[in-house]
C-alpha cells in the first residue's frame, strides 16, 4: 500500500535534502536526543562545509560530534564544545568557526526563529566585551539590552520517541531537550522516530511537537512502519 500521508519515507529519500554548504539545526544534548540514523546517513553521503546549529558538539564519536570529527563542518553555533576535544582543537587551529551563545539565549534564538521573530533582547553578557562586540544594542526604560538575532536552518533534524503519520511527536525524557524548539525552526524539519504509531493512538495531552511543524519522518534503524496506516 502506498503511504497516503506523504510524510513517512526512507533514509535514502530524505538524504536528497542535504547538500554541501547548507545550514543544519539539530536537537540533542551531549548526543542524547540527536538522530543517529540521520547523522550516519549524512556521513555516508559525504556532505561538507556545513553550518551546524545546536546546543553542543556532542562527543567525538557520539551525536553531531561524528560530523565535526570527520571535518564536515565549516561553522558551529552552540552553547559549548567542551565535551568534544576535537572541536576545540579544530577551533584553535582555525579549521572550525565557532559562535558561542549562552545556553538559554541560544534556545531563545532558536525559538524566535521558529515563531517568525527577528530576534530577542537580553542583558546576558552586557558586561563582557567579547559578548557585546559587533552586536546591536537598544535602550529600553533606561536599561541596555543586546539584540540576539533569531536562528533558522535549511533543514532541522530531530529525534522522537514516537511519531504518528501526521508528524505529531513525543520525546523520551531528557531527549526532549532542544528538539521541540529545533523542530520549529527549519525550513524543512526531518524527524527520526524510534516508533511510528497509528494515527489516533497518541494522547493529545502528551504530544510535544504538533505535526504542523514536521515535514518528513523516517524510522530509526530500519524499524518497520508499514502497519502505521493499515
**Does residue 14 carry a pLDDT above 50?**
yes
List C-alpha distances in Å: 8 to 38, 42, 57, 106, 204: 14, 18, 28, 30, 20
**Does residue 2 carry a pLDDT above 50?**
no
Q: How many residues does the chain have?
A: 230
**Does residue 166 carry a pLDDT above 60?**
yes
Please report the pLDDT score of residue 179 as a whole number. 97
Please report the pLDDT score of residue 206 as a whole number. 95
pLDDT confidence bin for 1, thresholds 50/70/90: very low
Q: For a pLDDT cut of 90, what percent of the chain falls above it?
A: 87
User: Mean pLDDT, to the nearest integer, of 92-100?
Assistant: 96
**3-state SS, residue 17:** helix
pLDDT confidence bin for 96, thresholds 50/70/90: very high
Give the C-alpha separation, 148 to 145, whole Å: 9
Please report the pLDDT score of residue 127 as a whole number. 86
The more confidently predicted of residues 51 and 132 is 51
**Does residue 230 carry a pLDDT above 60?**
no
Residue-wise pLDDT tens digits, 126-154: 888 878 888 899 999 999 999 999 999 99
Map out the domains of the chain with their CATH numbers: 11-118+151-221 (3.40.1080.10)
Give the C-alpha separation, 63 to 195, whole Å: 19
Per the CB < 8 A criterion, the answer to whether 71 and 96 are in contact is: no
Mean pLDDT over the full length of the chain: 92
Q: Which helix (H) or strand (E) holds 180?
A: helix 179-184
Amino acid at each position: 500500500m502506498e503511504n497516503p500521508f506523504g510524510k513517512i519515507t526512507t533514509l535514502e529519500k530524505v538524504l536528497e535534502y542535504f547538500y554541501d554548504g547548507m545550514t543544519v539545526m539539530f536537537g540533542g544534548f551531549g548526543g542524547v536526543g540527536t538522530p543517529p540514523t540521520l547523522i550516519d546517513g549524512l556521513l555516508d553521503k559525504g556532505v561538507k562545509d556545513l553550518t551546524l546549529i545546536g546546543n553542543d558538539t556532542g562527543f567525538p564519536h557520539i551525536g553531531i560530534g561524528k560530523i565535526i570529527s570527520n571535518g564536515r563542518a565549516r561553522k558551529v553555533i552552540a552553547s559549548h564544545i567542551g565535551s568534544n576535544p576535537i572541536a576545540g582543537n579544530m577551533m584553535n587551529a582555525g579549521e572550525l568557526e565557532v559562535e558561542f551563545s549562552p545556553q538559554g539565549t541560544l534556545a531563545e534564538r532558536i525559538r524566535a526563529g521558529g515563531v517568525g521573530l527577528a530576534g530577542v533582547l537580553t542583558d546576558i553578557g552586557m558586561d563582557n566585551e567579547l559578548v557585546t562586540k559587533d552586536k546591536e544594542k537598544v535602550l529600553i526604560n533606561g536599561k541596555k539590552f543586546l539584540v540576539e538575532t533569531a536562528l533558522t536552518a535549511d533543514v532541522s533534524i530531530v529525534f522522537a520517541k514516537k511519531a504518528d503519520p501526521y508528524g505529531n511527536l513525543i520525546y523520551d525524557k531528557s531527549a526532549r531537550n532542544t528538539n521541540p524548539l529545533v523542530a520549529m525552526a527549519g525550513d524543512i524539519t526531518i524527524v527520526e522516530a524510534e516508533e511510528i504509531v497509528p494515527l489516533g493512538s497518541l494522547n493529545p495531552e502528551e504530544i510535544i511537537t504538533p505535526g504542523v511543524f514536521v515535514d518528513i519522518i523516517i524510522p530509526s534503524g530500519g524499524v518497520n512502519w508499514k502497519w502505521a496506516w493499515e
